[in-house]
Structure 1
Amino acid sequence: MFGILGLDPTAERVYQDLVTAGSGSTAGLVERTGLPRAEVRKALTQLAELGLVTKQTGPRERYVAAPPAVALGALLAEQRHALYRAELGLASLAEAYRSASADSSARDLVEVVIGAHAVRHRFEQVQMAATAELHVMSEANHEVVGPGESAAEEQAINRGVRYHVIVEHAMLDRPGAFEGLMAHMKHQQLCRVVERVPTKLVIADRAVALVPLSDGTNPDGGEPSAMFVRAPGLIRLLMGLYESVWDRAVPVRLVEPSGIELDVPETEPTGLDLRILSLLMVGATDAAIAKQLGLGLRTVQRRVAHMMDLARVSTRLQLGWQACHRGWLS
């Protein structure tokens, strides 16, 4: 009954006997309880330490039980206080556990990667992890990995991963940029061009993403950094951002050179015409188109005029509308 207070069954039995009898000697307790003398003495020692019995001095050794309401009440109060302290300790430990678990989950879902080597390594990992599709937004300025510098990209394409790439218009001013896009599109990769992208971004299978935290120009000279994301809510947010940019970006169409002479009249746009038209649709100037395709400026202007004649329009704006309406770039 009182084991919680520190009494073993023998001590409890001896105390009950003393409470009932009022007092008793060791011999009397042995006789009434039927317990061995050594156990009775051990029980009396325990009871005395707990303040439940007192030893009377006199010619005969006798023990008197302390009033239960006082003696046991004090023990109960002490136990209640100990239990309260244990409850406080439990609450503190539970809160520490929850905090540690939350921090661990946060580290698993969002990780900040610092340093060019670490960012490059994580970029490779994201591409290697893809099994179906990769959504990429690429700025003209590259702080860590430039176009065509990732070996994981070719490996992903060979595995059948589908790339959906959005590039900034400024990238087309770089020598060979358009040809590089064409090379990717030969592998059934999709590409669109927009004036500006809000950020660099790569998302693999709509499950993991890498977003740079540092500016591409890195004016302060600090180390490049990026955020590696697994949190489903953040992935959905990033995919929403990507899709909003994709919807307003201009598609780039893959066409092969036709080999037809440029000054021979045709009834349909040639492959070269469509390449020129693709660049026009993403805002490239005649000079930029000529540089990209290795043509003379007058040749580009002549091919544009030829397409306007085919579409029976008088402005380039009308040419763009007719090109979309006729499906020349679809």
Structure 2
Amino acid sequence: MLSDVLGLTPEEADTYRTLVSVASATPAELAELVGLNPLLVVRILGRLEGQGLAARSVGDTTRFVASPPAAALRALLIQRQNELNLAELELDSLDEIYRAATLGRGAAEVVDVIHGTETIRERVGHIQLGARKEVMNFVKAPFFSSGNLTDGAVIARGVRYRVLLERAMLDGGSLSFDEIAQAQSAGEEVRVADAVPLKLFIVDRELAIVPLLGSAHAAKAGALLVHESSLLDALIALFESEWEKATQFVTSAGALPKAPAIDDLGVQILSLLLTGFTEQAIATQLRTSLRTVQRRIRHLMDTAKVQNRLQLGFHAARLGWLEAEQDGNTRV
């Protein structure tokens, strides 16, 4: 924690933490306690002394004592906070300069071309980490990026994530029900459509990345980076249109205020059923038996007082059974 927050190296943080735990110590004694080379500890103590975290003992200048953590570390923390505040002001200034420059973009500058899978992956990760308000994502096979479906650190900052999955992602095993459930529990909103028109990644309605090829053509992979323009507006409108038509993917009964007394498994079965999965496919996704799925669907139809699955879907949609209070990093 000290190394992450206050800018100390791991060795400096360990040395200071150890020095705090003893009355005083020589560099040799401290090196033995920390398990580092004595010469390295001498250099570390010099840096800690320069930062006000350590001082020589008044009675014996060959020994070192730790400065009181509450005072010494608070001073460093305030310094780091001031640096972050200045960096934020600089960022705002640069952002204003960037926005002013984008207003003068010509037609040829609205779209940049990104070449190579690794470059695309890095660019997606970079703009995702910089998201301030919202990430919008069309997901279809094949993946050519790795990692979890959700970037929890970005969501933790209050960034909204909306992901529209093509149903084939689940049919083909590219994604599992458990992965989607984990993403939703982290705060991601997920919907499913029979098909999505293209791969798409939009951040803050200011930038969009449109991957052109997947992992099957890694050597030729490319993507379009679209800046603010009427083209970006069209991509945003496309996302919103497809999002409205898609089926919400719900995994927890607790998020459904309009649903009748259905448990989590019942909600999961209904959610997969309404996205077009067969009973056998539902059983496979939920790792349960076909008989259990059939029995649960029969119970849902009895609850809705309908005779078939089509009527069940219509009834559930009309009454808003799967309308969650809140839906739910994304892959490209």
Q: Report the AA paired with residue 114 of structure 1.
A: H
Q: 1:118-129, aligned counterparts within 5 Å?
A: 118-129=119-130
> After the TM superposition, which parts of structure 1 deviate over 4 Å for at least 4 consecutive aligned residues?
101-108
Q: 1:1-330, aligned counterparts within 5 Å?
A: 105=106, 108-142=109-143, 144-146=144-146, 148=148, 153-173=151-171, 174=173, 177-215=176-214, 217-218=216-217, 222-255=219-252, 268-330=261-323
Q: Describe the shift of the 1:103–1:205 C-alpha distance in structure 2 as closer, same or farther (beyond 3 A).
A: closer
Cα offset, 1:210, TM superposition: 0.3
Partner SS, residue 179 of structure 1 = helix
Separation in 2, partners of 1:285, 1:146 = 29
Cα offset, 1:196, TM superposition: 1.1
Separation in 2, partners of 1:324, 1:115 = 43
Q: Describe the shift of the 1:160–1:183 C-alpha distance in structure 2 as closer, same or farther (beyond 3 A).
A: same
Partner SS, residue 135 of structure 2 = strand
Separation in 2, partners of 1:129, 1:105 = 25
Deviations 1:190-230 (A, max 9, x none): 11101111111010010001001225643xx6421101111
Cα offset, 1:318, TM superposition: 0.7
Deviations 1:294-313 (A, max 9, x none): 10011101100011111111
Separation in 1, partners of 2:154, 2:187 = 13
Separation in 2, partners of 1:249, 1:166 = 8
Q: Describe the shift of the 1:188–1:154 C-alpha distance in structure 2 as closer, same or farther (beyond 3 A).
A: closer
Separation in 1, partners of 2:113, 2:302 = 55
Separation in 2, partners of 1:298, 1:313 = 20
> Scaled by the length of structure 2, what TM-score is found?
0.60
Identity %: 37
Q: Describe the shift of the 1:147–1:201 C-alpha distance in structure 2 as closer, same or farther (beyond 3 A).
A: farther
Q: Is the 8 A contact 2:155 2:187 kept in 1?
A: no
Cα-Cα RMSD: 2.6
Counterpart residue number, 1:48: none
Separation in 1, partners of 2:142, 2:271 = 23
Gaps of 5+ in 1: 1-100, 258-266
Separation in 1, partners of 2:128, 2:221 = 19
Separation in 2, partners of 1:302, 1:149 = 32
Gaps of 5+ in 2: 1-101, 255-259, 324-332
Separation in 2, partners of 1:310, 1:256 = 15
Cα offset, 1:146, TM superposition: 4.3
Of the two, which has the highest radius of gyration? 1
Q: Report the AA paired with residue 317 of structure 1.
A: L
Q: Describe the shift of the 1:109–1:299 C-alpha distance in structure 2 as closer, same or farther (beyond 3 A).
A: same
Partner SS, residue 220 of structure 2 = coil
Q: Describe the shift of the 1:213–1:140 C-alpha distance in structure 2 as closer, same or farther (beyond 3 A).
A: closer
Separation in 1, partners of 2:234, 2:105 = 22
Q: How many residues align?
A: 216
Separation in 2, partners of 1:247, 1:108 = 31
Deviations 1:262-314 (A, max 9, x none): xxxxx722221111000001011111111111100111011000111111110
Q: Is the 8 A contact 2:164 2:190 kept in 1?
A: yes
Q: Report the AA paired with residue 177 of structure 1.
A: S
Q: Is the 8 A contact 1:268 1:310 kept in 2?
A: no
Deviations 1:130-152 (A, max 9, x none): 1010110000311x2146278xx
Cα offset, 1:235, TM superposition: 1.1
Deviations 1:64-122 (A, max 9, x none): xxxxxxxxxxxxxxxxxxxxxxxxxxxxxxxxxxxxx9997556532101011111111
Q: Is the 8 A contact 2:162 2:188 kept in 1?
A: yes
Q: Describe the shift of the 1:146–1:194 C-alpha distance in structure 2 as closer, same or farther (beyond 3 A).
A: farther
Q: Describe the shift of the 1:158–1:108 C-alpha distance in structure 2 as closer, same or farther (beyond 3 A).
A: farther
Counterpart residue number, 1:62: none
Q: Is the 8 A contact 2:138 2:200 kept in 1?
A: yes
Cα offset, 1:327, TM superposition: 2.7
